[in-house]
């Protein structure tokens, strides 16, 4: 029934699981015959830009064909009357965990931090925070939320730098707001959900990519103006993601610490350079004049950001001129800067990047996402996958014990709504 070949596997799994729940009548009384619809949203890798989004700079992510899917069936409250409580019930298939949000309590949940904490049940089930956060933000934005039963599942590796959290937010949003097309506002709403309710001070890159990316293209996003262009990737190129197996958590201190360091640096720089809204306003030339004012650690942080922002338009020029090799080199430059100046790489990620870069046909490699573990992205010519796998595995196993995973991925378009015609009787 949900076997449309173009549906990503998690979308089929979520819809099938929801249908089974309904058929088993596990969802309780009062189910209205209705249509299952599925919001499916992709993860992403970032080719250029790293920790540049919250500095109002540029980023260059690509959405990939790993998805989170949220299947939804609207329900009618028991008794069917207007006064009967209606709710949104979410089942997280991958966590075998479910929770219910009473729609009449959304205002209370927003106002009362403890009530929110009770709902999401501490840190054990972090997926609940992202889902509940999107629901609360949609309600605050005045969007109508239908009483529903929902099942969520995904195949974006969690905590690995492929942005499973933004894919989760975008999938939930898309499933619950079928009339709402993917918009910049939707991306901002999901970012707010993550900042406020999951406690992660992320920038806008991941949510924007999960909504607005286009298959076959990289998303050239200006994180200050929120304007973007979808730019063609080098012809005949392919993406392999190498997962170091080391998991990280963005809510951990290091990401937040980088943001605080940038704020401290801005405080010092403003006294010397005058008004600076963000590091976007600091050109490499002005930085060269004033860098000595900063203590060493902050100087290295700022040097990374200023260089990483400037690298993105250079990359776009190389792509436009068909200079694929030059474009690829910028990925490696970005990795070096993230490792040496921003201190967000690990010995494992460095080993993967340098081994991959030696392989013929590889255009460039770098860590993806925030760093501190997770994955590297390798941009390469089609056909060198086997060689890449054996070279990287050999170099890695000579030094480290965890097993690597290789994902050969395709580019994908942003969040979409599927189905809506299946009738559950």
Residue 257: how many CB atoms within 10 A of its CB? 11
Interacting span for ligand GLA (CB under 6 A) from 11-19, 203-211, 298-306, 357-365: 203-211
* The token pair that represents 183 in the structure block: 């918009």
Nearer to ligand GLA, 206 or 348 (CB): 206
Interacting span for ligand GLA (CB under 6 A) from 19-27, 122-130, 175-183, 202-210: 202-210
Binding positions for ligand GLA, 348-377, rule CB under 6 A: 369-370
Interface with ligand GLA, residue 64, by CB under 6 A:
no
Whether 206 sits among the annotated catalytic residues: the reply is yes
Which of 96, 112, 155, 206 is flagged as catalytic?
206
Query: Least distance (Å) from ligand GLA to the CB of residue 4?
Result: 31
Interface with ligand GLA, residue 53, by CB under 6 A:
yes
Interface with ligand GLA, residue 203, by CB under 6 A:
yes
Binding positions for ligand GLA, 154-173, rule CB under 6 A: 163
Rounded Cα distance between 360 and 184, Å, is 39
Interface with ligand GLA, residue 56, by CB under 6 A:
no
Query: Least distance (Å) from ligand GLA to the CB of residue 134?
Result: 15
Nearer to ligand GLA, 34 or 61 (CB): 61
Rounded Cα distance between 213 and 149, Å, is 28
Residue 99 sits at φ, ψ, to 5 deg, of -150, 160
Q: Count residues near ligand GLA (CB under 6 A).
A: 12
Interface with ligand GLA, residue 54, by CB under 6 A:
yes
- Distance set, CA 188 to CA 135, 166, 169, 193, 211 (Å): 14, 11, 11, 9, 10
With left for phi above 0 and alpha for psi between -120 and 50, is residue 48 left, alpha or beta? beta
Nearer to ligand GLA, 253 or 274 (CB): 253
Q: Looking at the chain, how many residues does it have? A: 425
Interface with ligand GLA, residue 41, by CB under 6 A:
no
Contact 325, 306 (CB under 8 A): no
Nearer to ligand GLA, 53 or 303 (CB): 53
Binding positions for ligand GLA, 302-321, rule CB under 6 A: none
Interface with ligand GLA, residue 133, by CB under 6 A:
no
Residue 199: how many CB atoms within 10 A of its CB? 14
Nearer to ligand GLA, 101 or 171 (CB): 171
- Using CB under 6 A, pick the residue from 56, 206, 324, 348 that binds ligand GLA: 206
* The token pair that represents 215 in the structure block: 């298959």
Helix residue ranges per DSSP H, 141-295: 164-176, 184-197, 205-212, 253-273, 284-290
- Report the alpha-carbon angle 126-140-109, nearest 5: 50
Q: CB-side exposure of 305: number of CA atoms within 13 Å?
A: 27
Nearer to ligand GLA, 151 or 198 (CB): 198
Query: Least distance (Å) from ligand GLA to the CB of residue 46?
Result: 6
**CA proximity to 378, closest of 245, 248, 244:** 244
Nearer to ligand GLA, 127 or 396 (CB): 127
Interface with ligand GLA, residue 205, by CB under 6 A:
yes
Q: Is 223 strand, coil or helix?
A: coil
Q: Is 232 strand, coil or helix?
A: strand
User: Which residues form the interface with ligand GLA (CB under 6 A)?
Assistant: 46, 50-51, 53-54, 163, 202-203, 205-206, 369-370
Q: Annotated active-site positions, please?
A: 206
């Amino acid at each position: 029934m949900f076997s449309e070949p173009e549906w990503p596997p998690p979308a089929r799994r979520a819809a099938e699981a929801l249908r089974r729940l309904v058929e088993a009548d596990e969802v309780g009384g009062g189910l209205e015959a209705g249509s299952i619809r599925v919001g499916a949203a992709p993860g992403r890798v970032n080719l250029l830009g790293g920790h540049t989004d919250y500095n109002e700079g540029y980023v260059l992510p690509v959405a990939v064909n790993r998805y989170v899917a949220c299947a939804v069936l609207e329900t009618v409250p028991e008794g069917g009357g207007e006064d009967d409580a209606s709710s949104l019930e979410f089942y997280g298939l991958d966590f075998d965990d479910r929770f219910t949000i009473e729609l009449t309590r959304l205002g209370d949940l927003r106002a009362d931090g403890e009530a929110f904490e009770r709902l999401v049940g501490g840190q054990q089930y972090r997926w609940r925070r992202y889902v509940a956060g999107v629901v609360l933000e949609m309600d605050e934005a005045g969007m109508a939320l239908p009483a529903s039963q929902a099942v969520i599942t995904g195949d974006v590796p969690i905590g690995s730098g492929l942005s499973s959290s933004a894919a989760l937010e975008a999938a939930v949003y898309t499933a619950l707001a079928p009339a709402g097309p993917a918009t910049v506002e939707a991306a901002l709403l999901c970012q707010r959900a993550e900042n406020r309710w999951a406690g992660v001070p992320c920038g806008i890159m991941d949510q924007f990519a999960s909504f607005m990316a286009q298959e076959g293209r990289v998303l050239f996003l200006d994180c200050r103006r929120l304007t973007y262009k979808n730019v063609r990737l080098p012809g005949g190129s392919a993406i392999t993601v190498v997962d170091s197996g080391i998991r990280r958590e963005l809510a951990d201190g290091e990401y937040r610490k980088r943001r605080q360091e940038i704020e401290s640096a801005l405080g010092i720089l403003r006294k010397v350079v005058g008004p600076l809204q963000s590091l976007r306003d600091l050109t490499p030339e002005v930085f060269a004049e004033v860098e000595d004012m900063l203590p060493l650690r902050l100087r290295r942080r700022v040097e990374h950001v200023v260089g990483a922002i400037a690298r993105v338009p250079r990359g776009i020029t190389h792509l436009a001129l068909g200079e694929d090799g030059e474009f690829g080199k910028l990925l490696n430059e970005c990795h070096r800067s993230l490792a040496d100046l921003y201190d967000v790489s690990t010995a494992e990620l460095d080993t993967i990047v340098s081994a991959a870069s030696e392989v013929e046909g590889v255009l460039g490699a770098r860590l993806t996402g925030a760093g501190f573990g997770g994955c590297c992205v390798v941009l390469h010519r089609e056909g060198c996958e086997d060689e890449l796998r054996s070279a990287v595995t050999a170099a890695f196993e000579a030094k480290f014990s965890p097993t690597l995973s290789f994902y050969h991925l395709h580019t994908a378009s942003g969040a979409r709504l599927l189905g809506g015609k299946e009738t559950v009787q």
